[in-house]
């Protein structure tokens, strides 16, 4: 059986490296176990790779973690985008950008 892929673009797409995916899925697992996230999606586009996280399926993502190599020299390859499209954190290193989720933990005060 053969598959006709002639209609697919020859334009390369941006995607995550294995180490980056491991970091992102590790964060996702911790946030799921904390009850904050429920679903995720991964997209490889011509100009960016996007890891979107949701609190429920079929809604807008809570956050989009984007890898945009074209921004590397300016503001940094990595960005965390909030629900309204606001850039919450930008940086050159993935770990640096993901630290914002560590400070977002809320505790009940009695």
Percent of all residues in the chain with a pLDDT value above 90, rounded to a whole number: 60
Q: Please give the Cα distance from 57 to 86 (Å, whole number).
A: 21
Over residues 12-61, the pLDDT tens digits come to: 888 999 999 999 999 999 999 988 899 999 999 999 999 999 987 667 89
Count Cβ atoms below 10 Å from residue 87 Cβ, excluding itself.
Answer: 12
Mean local confidence (pLDDT), 6-15: 72
> The whole model's pTM is what?
0.81
What was the pLDDT predicted at 8? Answer: 57
């Amino acid at each position: 059986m053969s598959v006709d892929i002639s209609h697919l673009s020859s334009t390369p797409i941006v995607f995550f490296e294995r180490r980056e995916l491991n970091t992102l899925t590790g964060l996702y697992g911790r946030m799921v176990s904390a009850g904050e996230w429920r679903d995720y999606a991964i997209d490889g586009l011509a100009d960016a790779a996007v890891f979107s996280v949701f609190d429920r399926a079929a809604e807008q993502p809570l956050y989009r973690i984007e890898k945009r190599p074209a921004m590397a020299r300016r503001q940094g390859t990595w960005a965390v985008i909030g629900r309204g499209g606001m850039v919450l954190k930008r940086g050159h290193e993935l770990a640096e950008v993901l630290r914002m989720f560590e400070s977002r933990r809320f505790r009940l005060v009695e």
